[in-house]
């Protein structure tokens, strides 16, 4: 199976600090891959390199066979590479449905026509509401996101990402800050992500990681320490010593 996404020997230096060390990884269409490692391992830096927030010091990034290393974040999104963030980046006073509609306008290249009433695009309005209903947010469509519970805000972020129809979805700690009582709902949504979308998830909730991921990549000191199936990672001696604490 040919990879839909890959990195080749990604490196990142901040002055004399070597944060990412020759990281090469692949994602196949529909694959669920978890990226784990102790705090300071370089996980978020790697995601920032992949998504275009940071430029690599060396190495290449490929999407659908195209070199996107020099592409902006926006160009990567249009090419199908979408991410969520550790902290919510929502507009707190804007209704949930309107935020999803704006993401759909961006996807369809209609942002230059925002002066026209959104009622002129009923198909996008229906798509936004259908997506919210799928995520269990239909009843909150007219609610300002700042009034939602934190777990529901994370679901809105998921709706914005899915509205862009990603081929590769990067989830940066989707459970971060989510109260325990709301985590099951978010985990259920993660389990129903589109089957043709490749997902790379950073997460500290090991129960979720081992339940969701078909493959796990372990990062330590900016380099890949090990990768394999959940069973292989559970039994890997270096991983058990360096990260799982066994």
- pLDDT of 66 reads 96
- Are the C-beta atoms of residues 158 and 172 closer than 8 Å to each other? no
pLDDT digits 0-9 by tens, 37-51: 988 899 999 999 999
| Average pLDDT score, the chain | 89
- Give dist(CA 170, CA 105) in Å, integer: 21
- pLDDT of 34 reads 96
What is the share, in percent, of the chain residues with pLDDT greater than 90? 57
- Are the C-beta atoms of residues 152 and 96 closer than 8 Å to each other? no
pLDDT digits 0-9 by tens, 100-145: 998 898 888 876 665 456 667 888 999 999 999 999 999 999 999 9
- pLDDT of 192 reads 87
- pLDDT of 1 reads 57
Please, which pLDDT band fits residue 87 given cuts at 50, 70 and 90? low
CATH code for position 73: 3.40.50.300
Q: pTM of the full predicted structure?
A: 0.89
- Are the C-beta atoms of residues 224 and 195 closer than 8 Å to each other? no
What is the share, in percent, of the chain residues with pLDDT greater than 70? 92
Please, which pLDDT band fits residue 32 given cuts at 50, 70 and 90? very high
- Residue 175 clears pLDDT 90, i.e. is over it: no
Mean pLDDT across 161-177: 90
Residues 6+ apart with CB under 8 A from 220: 37, 38, 41, 242, 243
30: left (phi over 0), alpha (psi -120 to 50) or beta: left
- pLDDT of 85 reads 66
Please, which pLDDT band fits residue 86 given cuts at 50, 70 and 90? low
Structural domains in the chain (count): 1
Please, which pLDDT band fits residue 217 given cuts at 50, 70 and 90? very high
Beta-bridge partner residues of 168: 81, 198
- Residue 193 clears pLDDT 60, i.e. is over it: yes
Range of the domain at 207: 5-244
């Amino acid at each position: 199976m040919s990879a839909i996404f890959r990195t080749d020997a990604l490196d990142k230096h901040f002055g004399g600090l070597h944060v990412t060390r020759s990281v090469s990884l692949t994602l196949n269409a529909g694959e669920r891959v978890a990226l784990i490692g102790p705090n300071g391992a370089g996980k978020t830096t790697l995601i920032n390199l992949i998504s275009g927030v940071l430029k690599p010091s060396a190495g290449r990034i490929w999407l659908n066979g195209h070199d996107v290393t020099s592409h902006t974040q926006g160009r990567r999104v249009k090419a199908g590479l979408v991410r969520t963030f550790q902290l919510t980046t929502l507009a707190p006073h804007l209704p949930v449905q309107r935020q999803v509609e704006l993401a759909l306008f961006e996807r369809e290249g209609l942002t230059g026509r925002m002066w026209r009433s959104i009622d002129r695009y009923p198909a996008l309005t229906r798509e936004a509401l259908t997506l919210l209903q799928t995520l269990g947010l239909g009843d909150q469509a007219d609610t300002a996101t700042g009034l939602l519970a934190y777990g529901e805000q994370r679901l809105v972020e998921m709706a914005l990402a899915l509205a862009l129809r990603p081929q590769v979805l990067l989830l940066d700690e989707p459970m971060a800050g989510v109260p325990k009582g709301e985590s099951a709902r978010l985990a259920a949504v993660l389990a129903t992500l589109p089957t043709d979308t490749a997902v790379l998830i950073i997460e500290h909730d090991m129960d979720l990681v081992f339940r969701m991921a078909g493959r796990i990549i372990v990062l330590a000191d900016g380099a890949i320490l090990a990768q394999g199936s959940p069973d292989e990672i559970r039994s890997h001696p270096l991983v058990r010593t360096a990260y799982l604490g066994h």
